[in-house]
Amino acid sequence: MSFEAWMPLPLPKQLVVFGLGDWSCYSPDTSIAVDVLVTAGVTPQRVGMLEPARRSLVWEGDWRTDIFMASLKEMDKGNSVKLVLSVNGRLLRGVSSSTPAHPFTVPETTQSPVLPADDMTLFQDLEDPTIVKNQSSDVAAGVPRPGRKDVHPALRTLAVPCALKPPSDKVEPSEAWRKSPVCPKKPRKVLFEPTASERDLGEEGSWGVLSDCSQPCTLPSLVSPSPRWCHAMCLSDQGTTILIGGQGVDQKSCKDALWKLEIDSDFWFPVDFQLQNATPLGLYGHTATYDPDTKRIYIFGGIREDKDYSNIYILDTVTWKWLLVVAKGKVPVLTYHSATIYRKELFVFGGTLPRKASLTVGPCSNVLYVFNPEHEIWYQPISEGEKPLPRLGHSATLLKNKILIFGGRRTSLYLSDMHILD
């Protein structure tokens, strides 16, 4: 008898294995061998043994050469390896369960000092009090059920902190962000419900031009981006996301074009006043791609108020300065394309010509363009194999040294094919 569990690659430097469950169904001399199996043709590597008196183990060591080399091949294929637990012993009972007899204790959540209990007014009207009253008394009051010692605590409302509180006094724009007091975190419920414009869009069954959005697309908060679509968003580091551009109500470009989201603290910050020079005007349908090596964001394509579609804007997230690049070579003019960074070069695929009518489908492209920031030049690499169909609105994801292109639209045809560029 054996149990298996998938283990992601690369192979870890340490392993911690717990043998939970009812061991009384096995003979007293039973042991469980823990092995790592990469492929069927390679002998598994033993990492330890579990016994009734020793139900956990910590392994730290070196992997065999054949195991390590085989794992690299499996990792290139996108596969995982197996953690195999082989039972060495006799089964005393015909029916056994690995589920623990008693549920694990979940500590009761206490009230946080930064989440005061009396600050429950924000969006409180979104919740029907009658629904809360009709909940089970065992869950609502946290009363334990008969015969059970440990139960999960009562369900609680998810608390999401609000953003910055706007300053009441007049402060210079450059100092507003630093002097604005942070208001206490308050609970906020987020509703995932289609707006009127989204229902209209779904009934039409096509893209076309969006009708006027008379209702706000998001719940209001003290400081947050205005409702928008056709924007671009990318990570600038592990804890920060940058929001750039977009089109808002009445099909007008958003005036608050640039925002920074601190993911851990859930705070939105307007970034416009931090910048040292002018920002690009009225962007939507563009791409924003972050290069972790240079810590720069490349903004390319889309529809702009200045109608200068071919230039590249580079935002340095260290100095917060814009750099306008007038590139050389055969410069593409695209919108609703895809862009990825690979080895400090920007790979752009697909898209269509910029049009003022948002998402009005025109002739699409299936040409691959590469921008080299060092020489500020565009070029078209020589590629082999069958090209994907021309498309727009697709996705392109970099996986190691491969770009995966999926989906998109071509005139009235919606695509679901996958292409890989090595």
Q: What is the pLDDT along the chain (422 residues), one digit of tens a residue?
A: 778 888 888 899 889 998 877 777 788 888 889 999 998 889 999 999 988 888 888 998 889 999 989 998 888 887 888 888 888 888 776 544 444 455 545 445 444 444 444 444 433 443 444 443 444 444 344 444 444 444 444 444 444 444 444 444 444 444 444 444 444 444 444 444 444 444 444 444 444 443 444 444 444 445 788 888 889 999 887 788 999 888 888 778 888 888 889 888 888 888 765 555 566 766 778 899 999 999 999 999 887 765 666 778 898 888 888 888 888 888 888 888 999 999 999 999 999 887 654 445 568 899 999 999 999 999 999 888 888 999 999 999 999 899 999 999 887 788 899 999 98
Give the pair of three-digit tokens for residue 12: 């870890």
Contacts 24+ apart (CB under 8 A), 255-260: 255/226, 256/225, 256/226, 257/282, 257/283, 259/225, 260/236
The helix, strand and coil proportions of the chain, stated in percent and rounded to the nearest 5, come to 10, 30, 55
Burial of 280 (0-12, 13-18, 19+ CB in 10 A): buried
Give the pair of three-digit tokens for residue 176: 């507003």
Distances (CA, A) of 7 to 4, 10, 31, 40: 10, 9, 22, 15
Distances (CA, A) of 310 to 210, 254, 365, 389: 26, 21, 15, 23
Cis check: omega of the bond before 194, within 30 degrees of 0: no
Whether pTM exceeds 0.75? no
Question: Which distant-in-sequence residues (6+ apart) come within 8 Å of 122 by Cβ?
Answer: 162, 186, 187, 188
pLDDT at 309: 66
pLDDT at 144: 46
**CA distance linking residue 132 with residue 154, whole number of Å:** 12
Q: Which CATH superfamily is domain 225-421 in?
A: Kelch-type beta propeller (2.120.10.80)
**pLDDT tens, 393-422?**
999 999 989 999 999 988 778 889 999 998
pLDDT at 369: 94
Residues of the chain with CATH 2.120.10.80: 225-421
Residue from 350, 346, 348, 370 nearest 361 by CA: 350
Residue type, 228: R
**pLDDT tens, 222-279?**
578 888 888 999 988 778 899 988 888 877 888 888 888 988 888 888 876 555 556 6
pLDDT at 99: 47
**CA distance linking residue 119 with residue 247, whole number of Å:** 34
pLDDT at 223: 78
